[in-house]
Amino acid sequence: MPDLITLLLLIAAAFLAGLIDAIAGGGGLITVPALMAIGLPPQVALGTNKLQASFGSGSAMLHFVRSGTVKLSDCLAGIFWTAVGAGTGVLAIQRLDPAILRQLVPWMLVIIAAYTLLTPKLGTEDIHARIPPRFFYPLFGLAIGFYDGFFGPGTGSFWAMGFVLLLGYSLVRATAHTKVMNFTSNIVALGFFLMAGQVQMLAGLLMGVAQFIGARIGAKLVIKKGAKFIRPVFIIIVLAITAKLIYQNYR
């Protein structure tokens, strides 16, 4: 069991992660290394991270639903396919080497950041969808849900860009829908980690409370500030995740 000072540091990390994750995704960039730094095995760190992240994504989702930014009835297909993908991803990580994804994901994130930088008006308002939701959700729900259960970093960024580029959502609306999908994959993955006994409950619950508070503040900032606020934070988080993943891969 972590000592008091360690728990306080984990709580602080979770609050910051919740704040950042509600705005642009990437909170796991803070919490997973923090959990591994206290000596938890990788599987337990990932499981504990899913516990505390469920509080943050759930908090942000609840705020967006209550504000009317997203309707859960519009997300049912996405929730279903994301749940299937996340469950499959957690099962797969027990059997497959995630090294291939670790090599590919940083460069995918570089492309996302570059595209966002080169299109200043991206996500400032809703536009016409490029593909219908009935095709979007099975494709992205399975793929990104699987990725979140299997590996994780950058999940929110991938969802947000999918909503913006393919469904034509503004960044505010995309961020709100992203939190619904994040919460879905977090909860499903958490269930599998709990069944495997790979969750540190005390640390996860305390971090979860901090995540909840941070995410509430972040969600309010998204609604109040809009796309002009989200865009630079989004780019910074994507680049930070990319740099960390490249460093981990090639050090």
Q: Give the pLDDT of residue 202.
A: 93
Q: How far is CA 180 from CA 114, 125, 228, 247, in A?
A: 26, 20, 22, 30
Mean pLDDT of the chain: 82
Q: Give the pLDDT of residue 16.
A: 84
Helices (H), the chain: 4-24, 28-37, 42-67, 76-93, 99-118, 133-150, 155-167, 171-195, 201-225, 227-250
pLDDT at 195 over 90: yes
pLDDT in tens, 162-178: 998 899 888 889 989 99
pLDDT at 56 over 80: yes
pLDDT at 34 over 90: no
Which tops the pLDDT comparison, 165 or 86? 86
Q: Give the pLDDT of residue 133.
A: 87
Residue 176 to residue 194: CA distance in whole angstroms: 27
Instruction: With cut-offs at 50, 70 and 90, classify the pLDDT of residue 236.
Output: confident
Indicate the length of the chain as a whole number.
251
Does residue 150 sit in helix, strand or coil?
A: helix
Instruction: With cut-offs at 50, 70 and 90, classify the pLDDT of residue 105.
Output: low
pLDDT at 117 over 70: no
Q: What is the mean pLDDT of residues 82-98?
A: 84
Q: Give the pLDDT of residue 204.
A: 93
Residue 172 to residue 164: CA distance in whole angstroms: 10
Q: Give the pLDDT of residue 18.
A: 83
Instruction: With cut-offs at 50, 70 and 90, classify the pLDDT of residue 140.
Output: very high
Among residues 181, 175, 212, which one has the least CA distance to residue 86? 181
Residue 29 to residue 201: CA distance in whole angstroms: 20
With the CA atoms of 234, 193, 72 and 156 taken in that order, what torsion angle do they form, in degrees rounded to the nearest 10? Answer: 10
Residue 69 to residue 76: CA distance in whole angstroms: 16
Instruction: With cut-offs at 50, 70 and 90, classify the pLDDT of residue 198.
Output: confident
Does residue 40 sit in helix, strand or coil?
A: coil
Q: Give the pLDDT of residue 9.
A: 87
Our CA angle for 112, 122, 138, nearest 5°, is 60
pLDDT at 200 over 90: yes
pLDDT at 13 over 90: no
List all residues 6 or more positions away from 156 whose beta carbon is below 8 Å from its beta carbon. Answer: 21, 24, 25, 26, 27, 178, 182
Q: Residue ranges of the domains in the chain?
A: 4-250
Among residues 226, 240, 248, 210, which one has the least CA distance to residue 113? 240
pLDDT at 111 over 60: yes
